[in-house]
């Protein structure tokens, strides 16, 4: 392909990338979800399960400590290994150190060995991490295992949505990629419940199950056709795309679009970092980065970490409240995935914005009511039979506000591509 045709293909791909689907209806493919697409998505989503399980493991241990479990099976990691509070805190925070390492090399690994190969590497890293934690005898075993988990899940949280978006048709891509966040919410909720019933060693060894399922499941799914064409495997690219779309489906148009977009990406990588801040990219850049940044300021992780304490302060058993919150996350996450496929991303983002604005005021109002009613009860304004009902109602309102404030909201991220 000569230089002129290359530039034309890149310009066409760039225009199609920045334009809306209405302006380019030929891009809005109506391909169906074939069995290879569904199987590939299902296998990849086990990586999301690994991520949610690993992140929630520390929260589960903290809940056990806060709730004061004292039996030998539930005494927790501090008592079994004789850790100090500082050592236990290091065990929790070192996950982020491993995640930083994984984030720095995830793109390089995915480009060198492919999406499937990178997920295999991630699974091996996570398996080693869980084994070190499950059979830990010293504190440094825990640190090494936790750091390996951080590195592994950092790779997976990048690879899973990339692989799913690269194998699914454009008309199904939004709903399928939203399953990544939904499964993370489900896995963290399941890990939370299961972890409250078994000791920390068994919980760590149970974390091997999703890693092993994905490790062997990768044998039965195709490699990403976009990676294959990027690395020059033309025959494998056509075979993979035909397998994903069906043997009797004409994939020539989609194959041409993918090739043009690959050429465009190669030209983009040759540009400098400052070229990303051009006027034509500014809107997409602000929206994409803004969504990633501001969702971290929503406080979801903090509320999740202190779920048991929040419910206890509201008058509910911490363990029961945590299970209710986990069930709520799964339910609302499933509804979010369905709504995303029907209404798209922007309406759900607007609803999420309304939720983020409204529920902090619900929490604040609940606290004010709780303090106001409690003050009147202490002064004997209400009778004994009445004030318990009022205080219980205000506490229930506080608990419900806390529960709704951390409903999943990351399932409607922006993904525009060919």
Compute φ and ψ for 251, nearest 5 degrees.
-105, 15
- Do residues 342 and 245 both lie within one domain? no
Does any domain span residue 274? no
Read off the tokens for 219.
């044998």
For 242-293, how does the pLDDT look when each residue is reduced to its tens digit (9 = 90+)? 999 988 888 888 888 888 888 877 776 666 667 777 787 788 888 878 877 7
Does any domain span residue 186? yes
DSSP codes, 360-400: HHHHHHHHHHHHHHHHHHHTT-S-HHHHHHHHHHHHHHHHH
Domain span at residue 48 reads: 31-249
- Do residues 101 and 172 both lie within one domain? yes
- Do residues 42 and 154 both lie within one domain? yes
- Do residues 126 and 224 both lie within one domain? yes
Which residue from 51, 125, 61, 69 is spatially nearest to 88, judged by alpha carbons?
Answer: 61
Using CA atoms, how far apart are residues 310 and 313, in angstroms rounded to an integer? 5
- Do residues 245 and 96 both lie within one domain? yes
Which residue from 106, 107, 216, 223 is spatially nearest to 163, judged by alpha carbons?
Answer: 223
- Do residues 319 and 245 both lie within one domain? no
Measuring CA to CA, how many Å separate 411 from each of 25, 182, 293? Answer: 25, 7, 15
Of 229, 249, 269, which closes a domain? 249
- Do residues 235 and 124 both lie within one domain? yes
- Do residues 136 and 240 both lie within one domain? yes
- Do residues 235 and 339 both lie within one domain? no
CATH code for position 218:
1.20.1250.20
Using CA atoms, how far apart are residues 383 and 381, in angstroms rounded to an integer? 7
Does any domain span residue 286? no
Of 249, 265, 287, which closes a domain? 249
- Do residues 229 and 340 both lie within one domain? no
Does any domain span residue 149? yes
Q: What is the pLDDT at residue 273?
A: 66
Measuring CA to CA, how many Å separate 362 from each of 351, 359, 405? Answer: 16, 5, 9
Does any domain span residue 273? no
In contact, 116 and 225? CB cutoff 8 Å: no
- Do residues 42 and 177 both lie within one domain? yes
- Do residues 218 and 122 both lie within one domain? yes
Compute φ and ψ for 138, nearest 5 degrees.
-130, 165
* Number of domains observed in the structure of the chain: 2
Does any domain span residue 267? no
Using CA atoms, how far apart are residues 350 and 196, in angstroms rounded to an integer? 35
DSSP class of residue 223 equals P
Does any domain span residue 109? yes
Tell me if residue 80 falls in helix, strand or coil.
Answer: helix
Using CA atoms, how far apart are residues 90 and 392, in angstroms rounded to an integer? 38
Which residue from 35, 347, 337, 353 is spatially nearest to 179, judged by alpha carbons?
Answer: 337
The model's pTM is: 0.72
Average the pLDDT over each of 117-121, 152-156, 332-336 and give the range with the smallest value. Answer: 332-336
Of 220, 249, 278, which closes a domain? 249
Does any domain span residue 360? yes
Mean pLDDT of 218-233: 92
Using CA atoms, how far apart are residues 353 and 124, in angstroms rounded to an integer? 39
Q: CB neighbours of 321 closer than 8 A, spacing ≥ 6?
A: 307, 308, 310, 311, 312, 314, 399, 403
Q: What is the pLDDT at residue 216?
A: 96
For 192-216, how does the pLDDT look when each residue is reduced to its tens digit (9 = 90+)? 777 767 778 888 899 999 999 999 9
């Amino acid at each position: 392909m000569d230089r002129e045709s290359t530039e034309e293909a890149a310009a066409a791909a760039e225009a199609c990338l920045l334009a809306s689907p209405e302006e380019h209806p030929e891009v809005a493919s109506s391909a169906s979800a074939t069995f290879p697409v569904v199987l590939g998505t299902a296998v990849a989503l086990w990586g999301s399960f690994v991520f949610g399980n690993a992140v929630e493991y520390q929260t589960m241990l903290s809940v056990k400590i806060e709730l004061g479990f004292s039996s030998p099976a539930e005494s927790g990691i501090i008592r079994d290994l004789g850790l100090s509070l500082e050592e236990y805190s290091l065990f929790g925070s070192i996950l982020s150190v491993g995640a930083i390492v994984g984030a720095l090399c995830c793109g390089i690994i995915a480009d060198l060995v492919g999406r499937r190969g990178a997920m295999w590497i991630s699974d091996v890293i996570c398996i080693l991490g869980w084994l070190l934690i499950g059979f830990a005898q010293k504190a440094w075993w825990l640190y090494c295992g936790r750091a390996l988990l951080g590195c592994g899940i950092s790779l997976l949280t990048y690879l899973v949505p990339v692989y799913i978006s690269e194998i699914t048709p454009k008309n199904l891509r939004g709903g399928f990629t939203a399953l990544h966040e939904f499964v993370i919410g489900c896995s963290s909720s399941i890990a939370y419940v299961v972890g409250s019933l078994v000791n920390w060693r068994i919980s760590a060894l149970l974390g091997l199950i999703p890693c092993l399922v994905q490790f062997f499941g990768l044998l039965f799914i195709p490699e990403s056709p976009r990676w294959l064409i990027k690395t020059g495997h033309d025959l494998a690219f056509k075979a993979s795309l035909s397998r994903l779309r069906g043997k009797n489906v004409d994939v020539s148009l989609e194959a041409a679009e993918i090739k043009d977009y690959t050429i465009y990406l190669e030209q983009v990588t040759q540009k400098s970092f400052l070229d990303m801040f051009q006027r034509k990219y500014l809107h997409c850049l602000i929206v994409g980065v803004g969504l990633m940044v501001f969702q971290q300021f929503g406080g979801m992780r903090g509320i999740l970490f202190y779920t048991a304490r929040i419910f206890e302060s509201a008058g509910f058993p911490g363990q029961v409240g945590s299970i209710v919150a986990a069930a709520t996350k799964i339910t609302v996450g499933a509804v979010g995935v369905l709504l995303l496929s029907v209404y798209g991303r922007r309406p759900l983002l607007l609803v999420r914005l309304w939720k983020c604005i409204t529920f902090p005021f619900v929490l604040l109002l609940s606290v004010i009511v709780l303090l106001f009613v409690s003050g009147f009860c202490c002064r004997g304004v209400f009778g004994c039979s009445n004030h318990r009902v009022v205080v219980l109602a205000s506490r229930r309102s506080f608990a419900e506000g806390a529960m709704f404030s951390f409903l999943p909201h990351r399932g409607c991220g922006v993904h525009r591509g060919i």
